[in-house]
Amino acid sequence: MLFWLKEDMAPQELTRRLAAVITHIDEIMQQEIRPLLAVDIIEQLHRQFAILSGGRGKDGAPIITFPEFVGFKHIPDEDFLNVMTYLTSVPSAEAASIGFVIVIDRRMDKWSSIKASLTRIAVAFPGNLQLIFILRPSSFIQRAITDIGIKYYRDEFKRKVPIIMLNSISDLHDYIAKSQLTEDLGGTLEYRHSQWISHRTAIENFALTVKTTAQMLQTVGSRLSATELPRGMVSTEELFVLHTRQWDKLRDELKLLGKQGAMLLSCIQEPATKNPTSKLNANELENVATIERLLVQLDETEKAFSQFWSKHHLKLNQCLQLQHFEHKFCEVKLALDNLLAEQAEFTDLGDSVMRVEQLLKEHEKLEGKGQEPLEKAQLLALIGDQLIQSHHYAADSIRPKCAELRHLCDDFTNENRKKYDMLGKSLELHRQLDKVSHWCEAGIYLLASQAVDKCQSREGVDVALNDIEAFLDTAKEYQLPSPKEFYNQFELMLTLDLEKIDSPENLSPIRRVIRDLLETEEIYIKEIKSIIDGYITPMDFIWLKHLIPDVLQNNKDFLFGNITELYEFHNRTFLKELEKCTENPELLASCFLRRKEDLQIYFKYHKNLPRAAAIWQECQDCAYFGVCQRQLDHNLPLFKYLRGPSQRLIKYQTLLKVKSTRQGFSLLGKQMPVLCCSFP
C-alpha cells in the first residue's frame, strides 16, 4: 500500500530530526568540554573557593574569582580540577576563546595560600588564561614574604600568563571596572552564589529533561510505527484510542516542560523585569540565551513528533475508515445480492389479468423493499469516493467496490424497469386477449342461440344473417389489431415465450456440442490469458526483477513457448468462428477443416514442452512463481496450466465424437484424429 510506504518514512524522519535536537542540546550545554553537571559537584561548588561572578574584563574576558578561603591548600586536587573544568565550560565558546581573567583575593591570607593557588592554576587550569591579578596579603610580614616568593614564580608563570600583584582594591579598579566586580572586591556587581548554583542546576536539569524527552520520543515513534495493525474493526478502534491517549499524555508533558522552561527563563530575567534600571550580568545573559535555545529545541521536538503523529494518526484513521467501509460493503452487498436473487425469482409474467395485477403489486412491494439497501449502497459509494479523493492509501481497493455497488444498484433499477415494462405489456396482452375471448364467447353464444326452426324460411335466415353481420361489425369497437400488428406490439413477450422450447434438455446433439465447445473455449482462452498477464508480463516489472533467477530470465521464451500465439489465434479468430456455428451448426465441420493448417501451431508448442519442463524443474521453487500464483489465486502451480494446451485438441476430438447424420459432421469426425495424431 502506498500509505505504508509513506508511513515507513515517517519514523526515519522523526529519528533524524530528534537526533539533530539531541546534538544541538549537547552543543548548547558544551557537553564535549563539560563532562560534569553542577549536581555532580554540588558540594565542591557550595564551598565557594572559586566563583564565576559574571563579570568581564575590558575585552570581554570572563572573570573567575578566588575569594578569601581558609584552607584552600587543603582542597583535594580532584575537587579543584572538577570546579575549574566546570567554571571554564559555563561561558559561551566565544567568550571562553578570549581567555579567562583570574582574580585571587588573598588580602587576609598568607603567601603559602597564594603559592598554592598559583601552583594549582599552573598545573590544572583547563581554560585559556589571559591575566592573573593577585591582591597580596595586608600583613606587612606576609606582604614581604609574598614579594620575595613571587620572584621565584613570576618567571615560570610569565611563560604562560602575566601576573599582576596588587596592593589594594583601588589598584584592581584600574584594570577592571567596578561594575564587573563583586561587592567584596569593591564593585557593584550583584552576585549570590546560592542563586547561581540554583540557576545552573535548574538549567542543566531542564536541558537534560529536554534531551531525555527527545530520546524517549524517538523510542515511542519507533514503537508506534512498528505496531502491527489488527484486522478486526474493534481491535483497531481500541488501538486507535490507546495511541491517541498516549499522544495526549505526551503532548501534555511537552506543554508542561515548555511551561517549566518559560518559568525558569522568567525567574532568571526577574531582576531586570522588576527594575528597569537593572541589567543582567554576562552570566545571566548567557543563561537566558541558553534557556531560549533549549526552548527552541523543545519546540522543534514537539513539531517533529506532532508531524510524525499526524502521519501515524492518519494511518490509523485510514485503516479504521477502510475497515468500516469494507464491513459496510459486505453488509450492503449481501443485502443487494439477496435483493437481486429475490428479483431474479420474479420470472412469471402472468397468465391472466388478475395474475399480472397481483405480480405488479408484488413487484412494487419488492421495489419498496429495495429502497433502503439502494440508498445505503449509494451513500457508501459516496463515502468511498470521498476516501479516494482524500488520497486514501487503499484507493485502488475502494474504487472497484464503489463501482460494484453502483453496478448492483443499476442492475436492480434496470431490471425493475424492464420487469415493469414486461408486466405492463403482459397486462395489456391479457386485457386484449380477454376482450377477444369475451367477444368470441359472445359470438359463440349468438350462434348457439339461433333457433333452427326460424331458419326454415327466407325471412328467418335473413334475420339470422343480419344478427351475425351486426355482431361482426362490433369487432371494430374492440379495436382488435391485425395479426401482424399484434405480433409487432408483443414481439418481445412472444420471443421470451418461445425461448422457453429452447432449453438445454431440448437441444439437438450438435447444438449441445457447439454449446460445450463455446463454454470450454472461453475458459481455455481465459486460462491462457491469465498465464500471459500473471506470469509473463510481470517479468518485465522492475520491482520484481530481484525475485527472478538468471536461468529463468534467460530462458523465459522456452518456458512459455508460443503460448501467446495460441492465445491470439483462439481469441481473435477461432472463438468468433465457433460462435457463428451457433446459428448455423452445419458450419462446424468446415470451421475445423478450414483451420487445419492454423492448428499446426500446437505442434510447435508441444515440441518445446520437454525443454519447458526441464526449465520448470530447475526454477519451480523461486519466489517469483509463488508471488504470481498467489496474485492469480491459482490452486495449481504454473506448469499444470502450461500442460493445458496439450489437452485442447484431444478435447475437441472428444466433444466431436457424437452421432450425426450430417455429412459434414461425419467428415469432421474422420478428420479430427488426423489433426491430433501428431501431438503427444
Q: What's the confidence (pLDDT) of residue 457?
A: 75
Q: Within 10 A of 223 (CB to CB), how many other CB atoms are there?
A: 11
Q: 177 in helix, strand or coil?
A: coil
**Shared-domain flag, residues 525 and 603:** yes
Give the domain range for residue 598.
Answer: 509-675
Considering only residues 312 and 655, tell me which one the structure prediction assigns the higher pLDDT: 312
In-domain check, residue 198: no
C-alpha 13/C-alpha 7 separation (Å) is 10
63 in Cβ contact with 180 (< 8 Å): yes
Measured between alpha carbons, how far apart are the two ends of the chain, in Å?
A: 46
Lookup: cell for 377:
449502497
pLDDT at 672 over 60: no
Confidence of residue 443 (pLDDT cuts 50, 70, 90): confident
Q: What's the confidence (pLDDT) of residue 125?
A: 86
C-alpha 319/C-alpha 236 separation (Å) is 8
73 in Cβ contact with 113 (< 8 Å): yes
Mean pLDDT in residue range 443-463: 71
**Shared-domain flag, residues 472 and 583:** no
Tell me the CATH number at 616: 1.20.900.10
**Shared-domain flag, residues 446 and 568:** no
Element (H, E) at 387: helix 353-389
Confidence of residue 44 (pLDDT cuts 50, 70, 90): very high
451 φ/ψ angles, rounded to the nearest 5 degrees? -75, 130
Considering only residues 89 and 543, tell me which one the structure prediction assigns the higher pLDDT: 89
In-domain check, residue 427: no
In-domain check, residue 582: yes
Per-position DSSP letters for 411-453, written without gaps between them: HHHHHHHHHHHHHHHHHHHHHHHHHHHHHHHHHHHHHHTS-GG
Q: Hunting for cell 575569594 — which residue is that?
A: 67
**Shared-domain flag, residues 457 and 556:** no
User: What 8-state DSSP symbol labels residue 537?
Assistant: G
Q: What order do you get walking across the sheet with 62-66 strand by strand?
A: 51-56, 62-66, 100-105, 129-135, 163-166
Highest mean pLDDT (candidates 41-55, 310-324, 637-651): 41-55
Determine the Cα angle at 659 with ends 655 and 661, to 5°: 125
Per-position DSSP letters for 291-347, written without gaps between them: HHHHHHHHHHHHHHHHHHHHHHHHHHHHHHHHHHHHHHHHHHHHHHHHHHHHHHT--
**Domain boundary pick from 159, 177, 193:** 193
Angle between the N-to-C axes of helices 193-226 and 233-274, in degrees from 0 to 180, rounded to the nearest 10: 160
Q: Hunting for cell 533467477 — which residue is that?
A: 549
**Shared-domain flag, residues 578 and 665:** yes
In-domain check, residue 386: no
Mean pLDDT in residue range 450-479: 74
Lookup: cell for 129:
588564561
**Tens digit of each residue's pLDDT (9 = 90 or more) over 507-547:** 667 777 888 888 888 999 999 999 999 999 988 888 788 88
Tell me the C-alpha to C-alpha distance, in Å, between residue 464 and each of 442, 459, 460, 467, 542.
15, 9, 6, 5, 96
Tell me the CATH number at 165: 3.40.525.10
Q: Give the percent of the chain with pLDDT over 70.
A: 85
399 in Cβ contact with 407 (< 8 Å): no
By C-alpha distance, which of 604, 600, 601, 589 is closest to 666? 589
pLDDT at 46 over 50: yes
By C-alpha distance, which of 151, 180, 178 is closest to 163? 151
Considering only residues 588 and 44, tell me which one the structure prediction assigns the higher pLDDT: 44
C-alpha 373/C-alpha 332 separation (Å) is 6
**Tens digit of each residue's pLDDT (9 = 90 or more) over 184-198:** 999 999 899 999 999
Structurally, the chain folds into a number of domains equal to 3
pLDDT at 499 over 50: no
**Shared-domain flag, residues 607 and 475:** no
Mean pLDDT in residue range 225-242: 81
**Tens digit of each residue's pLDDT (9 = 90 or more) over 254-300:** 999 999 999 999 998 887 777 777 788 888 888 999 999 999 999 99
Instruction: Look over the chain and give the mean of its residue pLDDT values, rounded to a whole number.
Output: 82
**Shared-domain flag, residues 539 and 641:** yes
Lookup: cell for 568:
491470439
User: What 8-state DSSP symbol labels residue 227?
Assistant: P
Confidence of residue 666 (pLDDT cuts 50, 70, 90): very low
**Domain boundary pick from 193, 208, 233:** 193
Q: Hunting for cell 386484449 — which residue is that?
A: 432
399 in Cβ contact with 388 (< 8 Å): yes
**Shared-domain flag, residues 54 and 105:** yes
Considering only residues 33 and 79, tell me which one the structure prediction assigns the higher pLDDT: 79
C-alpha 109/C-alpha 651 separation (Å) is 119
**Domain boundary pick from 178, 193, 208:** 193
In-domain check, residue 298: no
**Shared-domain flag, residues 59 and 150:** yes
In-domain check, residue 319: no
**Tens digit of each residue's pLDDT (9 = 90 or more) over 149-166:** 666 666 655 556 788 888
C-alpha 32/C-alpha 47 separation (Å) is 26
Considering only residues 32 and 96, tell me which one the structure prediction assigns the higher pLDDT: 96
Element (H, E) at 16: helix 2-28
C-alpha 18/C-alpha 495 separation (Å) is 77
Per-position DSSP letters for 561-613, written without gaps between them: TTHHHHHHHIIIIIHHHHHHTTT-TTHHHHHHHHTTTGGGHHHHHHHHHHHHH
C-alpha 300/C-alpha 289 separation (Å) is 17
- On the 0-12 / 13-18 / 19+ scale of CB atoms within 10 A, 506 is exposed
In-domain check, residue 306: no
**Shared-domain flag, residues 496 and 543:** no
- For 134, half-sphere exposure in the C-beta direction (CA atoms, 13 angstrom radius) is 27
In-domain check, residue 518: yes
**Tens digit of each residue's pLDDT (9 = 90 or more) over 614-643:** 999 999 999 999 889 988 888 889 998 898
Global pTM? 0.55
Q: What's the confidence (pLDDT) of residue 492?
A: 60
By C-alpha distance, which of 441, 436, 429, 437 is closest to 355? 429
CA 150 to chain centre: 77
**Shared-domain flag, residues 27 and 141:** yes
**Shared-domain flag, residues 559 and 576:** yes
427 in Cβ contact with 357 (< 8 Å): yes
Q: What's the confidence (pLDDT) of residue 664?
A: 38
295 in Cβ contact with 258 (< 8 Å): yes
Lookup: cell for 38:
553542577
